[in-house]
Amino acid sequence: MVVPVILYGYPILRKQCFEVTKSDDTFLLSANLFDTVKKSKGIGLAASQIGILKRAFVIDTSPFSSDQENTTPICEQIFINPEILEQSANKIYYEEGCLSIPGIFEEVQRPEKITVRYLNLELNQIEEELDGIRARIFQHEFDHLNGILFIDKLNPLKRKLLARKLNKIVNS
Ligand code: CO
C-alpha cells in the first residue's frame, strides 16, 4: 500500500528506531515501503519515514536502470536491523536528496565503501561489502534509523542557506 511520506519538521524523523523482532510484520512493512518508494520515484526509504519506528529500510535502484551507461545490477531489497561493521577511510562526495526533504539536493561526504550486516526479508543474516550507489543509499537510510538526516552532514553555512527552503517544507 502506498502511504504518505512524513516530511521534514515532524518529530518522528528525529527519533531512534527500535530493533525489528519476530512479532513484527516485516512482509507488510516491506510491501508498504516498496509501494511508497516506487510511487515517489525514490531510491531508498526508511520505516520511520512512513511512521514506523523500526530499524528497517529499502533500497530500490530500479530508477537508474533506464540509464544505458549503468552496468550495476538493480538492487531492490529490504534491510532489517542493519549494522555498519566497517567504513573505508576514503570518503567521497555524492549528491543526495530525501523523500522527506523534497526539492533539496546537496553534495554529502561519506565513506566510499562499507561492510554491513543485516537480515533480509527471509530473516537470513547477511554480511557483505557495499560500494557505489548501494553504499551511499545504505548510509543515508541507516542514518534515518538514528534520527539523522542528510542535511545534518552539511556545513553550517550550507545549512543556513537552506533554512528558508526547509522552513517552507515545515510549513507546507
Ligand atoms: Co532520506
CB–CB of 90/113 below 8 Å?
Answer: yes
Q: Hey, is 162 helix, strand or coil?
A: helix
Q: For residue 170, which phi and psi values (nearest 5 degrees)?
A: -60, -40
Quote the pLDDT of residue 73: 78
Task: List, for residues 58-71, the tens digit of each pLDDT value.
Answer: 999 998 876 666 66
Q: Are strands 91-96 and 106-111 parallel, antiparallel or unpaired?
A: antiparallel
pLDDT of the residue at 119: 98
What is the identity of the amino acid at 37? Answer: V
The string of pLDDT tens digits covering residues 99-143 is 999 999 999 999 999 999 999 999 999 999 999 999 999 999 999
- Specify the residue for cell string 517544507: 169
Distance 5 CA to ligand 1 centre (A): 10
What's the pLDDT score for residue 67?
64
Residues involved in catalysis = 141
Distance 15 CA to ligand 1 centre (A): 14
What percent of the chain has pLDDT above 90? 91
Work out the number of other CB atoms within 10 angstroms of the CB of residue 93: 10
Mean pLDDT of the chain: 95
Nearest CA among 113, 106, 81, 103 for reference residue 169: 103
Distance 82 CA to ligand 1 centre (A): 16
What does the block give as the cell for 12? 518522528
Higher pLDDT among residues 132 and 73, named by residue:
132
Each residue's pLDDT tens digit, 153-172: 999 999 999 999 999 999 88
Q: Collect all residues with Cβ–Cβ distance below 8 Å to 45 and sequence separation of at least 6.
A: 5, 33, 36, 37, 57, 58, 60, 99, 141
Tell how far the Cα of 98 is from the centroid of ligand 1, in angstroms.
Answer: 4
75: nearest Cα among 142, 136, 140, 134: 134
Three-state SS at 16: coil
Angle at 123 between CA 62 and CA 46, to 5 degrees: 45
Number of H-type helices and E-type strands within the chain: 3, 7
